[in-house]
Each structure stands twice: as C-alpha cells, then as structure tokens.
Amino acid sequence: MNQKELRVSKIKDGTVIDHIRRGYALDVVKILGITGKEKRVLTIAVNVPSKCFGAKDIVKIEGKLLNPQEVNRIALVAPHASINLIHDYLVVEKREVQLPKTFEGIIKCINPSCVSNSGEPINSKFHIKQEDPLMIKCHYCRIIIEQSDVLDQL
C-alpha cells in the first residue's frame, strides 16, 4: 500500500475489525461497549473504498483483544466482518465473524408478555431466521425481531 492510499495508520497491538458493512462502524463500537472515554486509541473509518464491497467501514482498537462473546455480538450488526488480531504490527490471526444459529442473553425479547421477560430466571434465547438484514425469532414466544429493533437495544 503506498502513501497515497494509506488512510488510517497501522496499529502495533490490538484488534482490527475490517469489512464492516458501510454505515455500521458506530454500531460495532457501541455493541462492544466502547465509549471513547477509555485510555486506548480507537480509529473508526467510515465509507472507505473497498475492492470487495465497494465501500466498507473499519474499526481499530489498540491494546484490546476480543473475547468470543464480543465476536458474536459483532456478527449481529456486521455479519461479514473479519477480525484481525495484531501483534507487533503483524496480523497474527484473522477470523471471519460467524453468527451462531442460536444465541442467548445479548438482547431482550420485544414481547412484554414473553416468558423471558417475566422476571423468572430465564435468559432470552433467539434463533437466526435470516442473516442480512438480520431477522431473529424468540425461542419462547416465537415473535420475529428485525434488525432495527436489535440495533435499538444496543
């Protein structure tokens, strides 16, 4: 990559979330619980030209490695993202995010009378009906929740 193409600098150690669908970088940051008040360098690039997608977003978080739960959360808003672990400027691991078929506890069912909202110790649980745009189905009350309702909860 030559100097003219270099838009955001490389990082030394941390995580690069690449190939985020354009417009979703801020949702990725939000879903990770990053506020920007942490003492870490955070780079957000939105609408960057990309060979594969036309345009993409990128999030670079210095000094942070993601746990599997965080990777699953990213899949909810950016199903085609790739997660690059950087150590000493080198990409030491590259993972594609993958939506699990079923996930528990990340978001709440939107149906107030769902048993997962009853105050009983029952975790919310959803099955993926469609990845992109996201559509999930409550395991208990079978209501379908759309991507916009998921994003509203982040």
* Residue 61 in the binding site for ligand CTP (CB under 6 A): no
CA dist., res. 146 & res. 76, Å (int): 11
- Which residues within the stretch 103-132 sit at the binding site for ligand CTP (CB under 6 A)? none
CB contact set of 7 (below 8 Å; sequence gap of 6+)? 45, 48
Task: Choose one: 27-35, 85-93, 101-109, 111-119; the region binding ligand CTP (CB under 6 A).
Answer: 85-93
Nearer to ligand CTP, 26 or 85 (CB): 85
Select the binding partner of residue 139 from Zn ion, ligand CTP, none (C-beta < 5 to 8 A, by kind).
none
**Span near ligand CTP by CB under 6 A; candidates 23-31, 71-79, 87-95, 124-132:** 87-95
**Shortest Cβ distance from residue 39 to ligand CTP (Å)?**
19
Under 8 Å between Cβ of 129 and 142: no
Quick one: tokens of 26? 């801020």
How far CA 117 is from CA of 69, 101, 137, 151, in Å, comes to 22, 22, 15, 19
Q: Is 81 in the site for ligand CTP (CB under 6 A)?
A: no
Nearer to ligand CTP, 84 or 124 (CB): 84
15 binds ligand CTP (CB under 6 A): no
Query: Does the footprint of Zn ion cover residue 82 (CB under 5 A)?
Result: no
> What is the rounded CA–CA span in Å between residue 57 and residue 63?
20
Tokens of 29: 């940051």
10 lies in the site for ligand CTP, by CB under 6 A: yes
- Residue 141 binding Zn ion, by CB under 5 A: yes
Q: Which residue has the tokens 């594609």?
A: 96
State the binding partner of 111 from Zn ion, ligand CTP, none, CB within 5 to 8 A by kind: Zn ion
Q: Strand order in 144-146's β-sheet?
A: 102-104, 125-131, 134-138, 144-146
